[in-house]
Amino acid sequence: MTRAGTRRAENAVRGNLIVAGGVIEKIAAQAALDVETVGGLGQRHPGRGRRQATDERPPQVSARVGRGTASISISLSVRYPVRIVEVCEAVRTSVTQQVADLAGLRVTHIDIDVSAFEFDAGPSSRAR
């Protein structure tokens, strides 16, 4: 058998790899959290005006996976004060690299929704 024929036979034996959308969502959520000023979406409780760090969940992510590509939507919070455009660019870079490195998919589109600002819980940031 020729060398090219051997490679085709090896590829046929190995099969295909299918990465589920849920896997991409988890990778993207963690990659977004790797950016220093990004947080998840905390839960508000009645009677409390601000979110607590203990209430924090990861960013909300949805992903559509196609043939070797992924399209991702992320909803997250950022710590105030930051430049939102710079944070979003850092998130895009981190998510694109992590999805490519860990899942072997090319990210074709990322929507980022900054849903909230997180404020320090120090005495100078008390609600009045």
Q: Can you tell me the distance from the alpha carbon of 79 to that of 81, in angstroms, rounded to the nearest whole number?
A: 6
Phi, psi of 75 (to 5 degrees): -120, 125
pTM: 0.75
Q: Is the pLDDT of residue 118 over 70?
A: yes
Tell me the mean pLDDT in the region 36-55.
Answer: 63
Q: Is the pLDDT of residue 56 over 60?
A: yes
Tell me the mean pLDDT in the region 31-52.
Answer: 73
Q: What pLDDT does 59 receive?
A: 96
Q: Can you tell me the distance from the alpha carbon of 45 to that of 55, in angstroms, rounded to the nearest whole number?
A: 9
